[in-house]
């Protein structure tokens, strides 16, 4: 049995339509549907990637006129772009497991001949209970993101700096809800 080109085309379109409906049905129509969730580690990695991209934009926008201490300017720049970032630590009951603190060690130039640590996050635990932190490294002009054991990161940063350094900013997942409710209280 041979089909004409028009019939073959209609069969392909019908198959695509049916497969699309099945995919939609699997995610939205079937009972017990749940939105896919991502691990804390994956969420933190994604936000580290956003911070790295924003960091590159910040340095580019300064056209080489980077202040001696670029950290306060970068934090302002980041907070202006994304309302989930804040200088203030998350406040209960507006906290979540996805909240993250960021510690910055930014250089005056966004390039380094050797691998240079420029930022790290608050800790998270992996499957076997090991404590890790994401770290952003500058290698040449490239920013790489790596999950490191906390003990290794402590060796890189130095025990005293590691213990005394305060977070430069926070990713606060429910911050917009907090700000909205605070605004409503003030009215």
At 116-170, the pLDDT tens digits run: 999 999 998 887 888 999 999 999 999 999 999 999 999 999 988 888 999 999 9
Give Cα 47 distance to the centre of its chain. Answer: 0
Q: Are strands 131-140 and 85-86 parallel, antiparallel or unpaired?
A: unpaired
Please list the residues that pair with 169 across neighbouring strands: 102
Number of residues assigned to the chain: 187
- What value does the mean pLDDT take over residues 19-32? 61
- Asked if residues 133 and 141 have their Cβ atoms less than 8 Å apart, the reply is no
State the pLDDT at residue 2.
67
State the pLDDT at residue 135.
93
State the pLDDT at residue 153.
92
Q: What ranges do the domains of the chain cover?
A: 1-36, 40-186
State the pLDDT at residue 37.
57
The count of other CB atoms within 10 Å of the CB of residue 185 is 7
State the pLDDT at residue 1.
58
State the pLDDT at residue 81.
87
pLDDT at 184 over 70: yes
pLDDT band per the 50, 70, 90 thresholds, residue 22: low
pLDDT at 88 over 80: yes
pLDDT at 104 over 70: yes
d(CA 15, CA 155) in angstroms, rounded, equals 57
At 29-65, the pLDDT tens digits run: 555 555 555 576 777 888 888 899 999 999 988 887 8
pLDDT at 75 over 60: yes
Instruction: Give percent of the chain above pLDDT 90.
Output: 36
């Amino acid at each position: 049995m041979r089909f004409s080109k028009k019939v073959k085309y209609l069969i392909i379109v019908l198959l695509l339509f049916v497969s699309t409906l099945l995919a939609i049905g699997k995610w939205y129509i079937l009972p017990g549907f749940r939105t896919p969730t991502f691990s804390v580690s994956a969420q933190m990695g994604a936000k580290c990637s956003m911070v790295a991209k924003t960091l590159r934009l910040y340095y580019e926008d300064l056209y080489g006129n980077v202040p001696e201490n670029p950290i306060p300017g970068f934090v302002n720049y980041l907070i202006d772009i994304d309302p989930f970032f804040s200088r203030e630590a998350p406040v209960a009951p507006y906290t979540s497991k996805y909240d993250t603190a960021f510690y910055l060690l930014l250089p005056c130039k966004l390039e380094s001949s050797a691998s240079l640590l420029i930022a790290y996050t608050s800790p998270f635990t992996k499957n076997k209970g090991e404590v890790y932190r994401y770290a952003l490294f500058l290698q040449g002009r490239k920013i790489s993101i790596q999950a490191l054991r906390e003990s290794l990161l402590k060796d890189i940063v130095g025990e005293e700096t590691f213990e005394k350094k305060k977070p430069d900013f926070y990713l606060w997942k429910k911050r917009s809800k907090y700000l909205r409710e605070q605004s409503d209280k003030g009215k």
